[in-house]
Amino acid sequence: MVVVKPYRTSAGRHHPLGATVSDEGVNFSLFSRSATAVELLLFDRFDRPAPQQVIRLDSRHHRTYGYWHVFVHGAAEGLIYGYRVHGPWAPEQGHRFNPAKLLLDPYARGIVRHDGRAHRDAMGAQDNVATAMKSLVVDLRRFDWQGVERPRIDPSTRVIYEMHVRGFTRHPSSGVAHPGTFDGLVERIPYLVELGITTVELLPVFQFDEHDIDFVDPTTGKALRNFWGYDPIGFFSPHRGYYIENWEHMRYLTGFRDLVRELHRAGLEVVLDVVFNHTAEGGEDGPTLSFRGIENAVYYLGEPGRPQTYANYSGVGNTLNCNHPIVRRMILDCLRYWAVDMRVDGFRFDLASILSRDESGQPMHNPPLPWEIEADPALQETLLVAEAWDAGGLYQVGGFPGERWSEWNGKFRDDVRRFLRGDEDMAGAVAARMLGSPDLYERHGRVPQQCINFVTCHDGFTLGDLVSYERKHNEANGEDGRDGSDHEHSANYGVEGPTDDPAIEALRNRQVKNFLALLLLAQGTPMVLAGDELRRTQRGNNNAYCQDNEVSWIDWGLRERHADIQRFTRLMIAFRRAHPGLRRTKYLLGYEAPASADPPGYTRVRWHGTALDRPDWSRESHTLAYTLTRSQDDQALHVIVNAWERALRFDVPRPEAGLEWHRAIDTSRASPDDIGEPDAEGRVETRVEGHEVVAQGRSVVVLVQR
């Protein structure tokens, strides 16, 4: 039997929090104001049923203020550890200490696990040291960025592509060597460059537990897995499941940083979808994994006057106490870590309105956390995007606190869906959406690029399903169809789900192109859901959070089957990039505005209906037409949207002397006549004869004046 000599220890320092590597050893620091004792457990392997050493921290020598700390001499990266925290079990006071539970360090840079029992065994009062997830000491000093610099993307040219690390390459058709991993995504970077997007937005990469889903698929009897990852348990740790390395190689976090470096090398930004509104510990009967057993009353919001009950503004059991000084510090430390050490370029904040709630759960007029995030010197170059609502009914689209924040524009999604479906009383609303929603943002002094437009995202129907299903089909989630939104504003055009009817298929294809066209023609910042350019389907499932299977994985065989949609998406992105008039940094003025109101040659908007200068804002209107005037850096563009079932004739403005109108886009035409490949001079159009254009039913037509 080999006897391992215990590490020598000394008092250490209370900052920085977490496990910090130096040449002499590792400093450990943990905040727990109400704890009566803390033990640091050290392991030489993740699967050991017992620690190799237990270091009991003495409150006289190892505590400063509310911080417990120790320096372990000779320790290094790769060491595995966890905490036992002693204190009162008094839920009525907000305390839920349980020294039988091995707890993750909230600042752990790496997390490892043995098997799938971590979530189950973290329930109840029993000891769980053998199966608990454990923290990993990481050395961030050893990584070669190879001189690759961050890309400098002009915000006016940004096109965001929302994607899931595992889902993007997990399907056998992906053809990558390491499917479903950070490395697999690296192999697919050339596709992203070819598509023309500028910014990759990754669904959560924080550590989560794939096995914390209690449901089974009733059609197969198989246990379901957490796929999306919106239940974080380690804010500082890249998810273990996205690595190809074994745990011993995670000590330098090379997999994730390799991905960031290679995306940057290709000129692409990296934005993380971050979840600071709740954790995987759930409600009162949830597992004790970390925060609950360390300082429950600080990290979580309790119901006013009932600390034993969790406030649930996230909809999943608990709510982080984001504006408590300690939690604010953790969130800011975390953002700085990902921005500075991991070099990501921005963050999209899930249910961001929770960041504006105070310690009693009430919305604040001037919440400190959003302002501190946008003012932090280390975050000045990062993109900040708020999902400006929460599950508690707080809706802040158009008014999220702060100045620099961008917002997911849920109104763009809903209004465009309803208009193209044929709903009444939508023409005026969609006109505002196409201008970057000045009705929502201009009065707050924001610019169009802060409006993130989208038609689909991970949550809801894919674009292919939006035109194929009138209701959700979530039976495979095991929740009897109760989960997921009932308000998709979708249509199936005659058949629910797949069909061989060529007329229905042609109409669905046209509607997909219409959605993509409006998204990429609108002022603001467009976001495309990964796989929509391939008409990916989730078989009508609009809440595939637990579908780690072909429902959620991208089938790359669709690239050939729906080559016309992929081509249309690529060329629409290129068309947007080629026309500065589609992506102005200030809101457009009306055609009749005084000449002194904007810089010379700046684009203006001129509204029409089927007749020139006679826009139809009536309830019955299903049409929209407008001209973006010629400017110093762009030609005039004329956009026609016919959301009616039948063809309509639209008058076209007389071209300026020596110029002609050319048809650049027509979604009613089959590929390749729907949008042309640019020639050597960047031209893609055919000349328009006469002074009117016929727009087929449910189509978008764009003319360029040359």
Q: Which residues are catalytic?
A: 350, 387
Cα(267)–Cα(292) distance, integer angstroms? 41
Contact 535, 463 (CB under 8 A): yes
Distance separating alpha carbons of residues 635 and 33, to the nearest angstrom:
64
| Distance (Å) of CA 136 to CA 19, 293, 610 | 9, 19, 65
Helix axis angle for 410-421 and 502-521, nearest 10°, is 140
Tokens at 369, concatenated: 């956390």
Backbone phi and psi for residue 96, each to the nearest 5 degrees, phi listed first:
-135, 45
Q: Strands 589-590 and 604-608, how do they pair?
A: parallel
Q: Which residues are paired to 38 by β-bridges?
A: 57, 85
Q: What are phi and psi of 280, to 5 degrees?
A: -75, 0
Name the E strands within 5-96: 8-10, 18-21, 25-31, 37-43, 53-57, 63-64, 67-73, 80-86, 89-90, 95-96
Neighbours of 290 (CB within 10 A): 28
Tell me the CA distances in angstroms from 306 to 91, 301, 441, 507, one per residue in order. 9, 10, 38, 55
* Adjacent-strand bridge partners of 11: none
Name the helix (H) or strand (E) containing 134: strand 134-136
φ and ψ at 28, to 5 degrees? -110, 135
DSSP string, 260-316: HHHHHHTT-EEEEEE--S--TT-STTS--SSHHHHHHHHHBPEETTEEEEE--SSSS
Cα–Cα dist 352/364, whole Å: 13
- Three-class SS of residue 649? strand
101 close to 128: Cβ distance less than 8 angstroms: yes
Q: Give CA separation, 101 vs 39, 84, 97, 116, 231, in Å.
A: 11, 6, 9, 16, 20
Alpha carbon 226 to chain centroid distance? 16
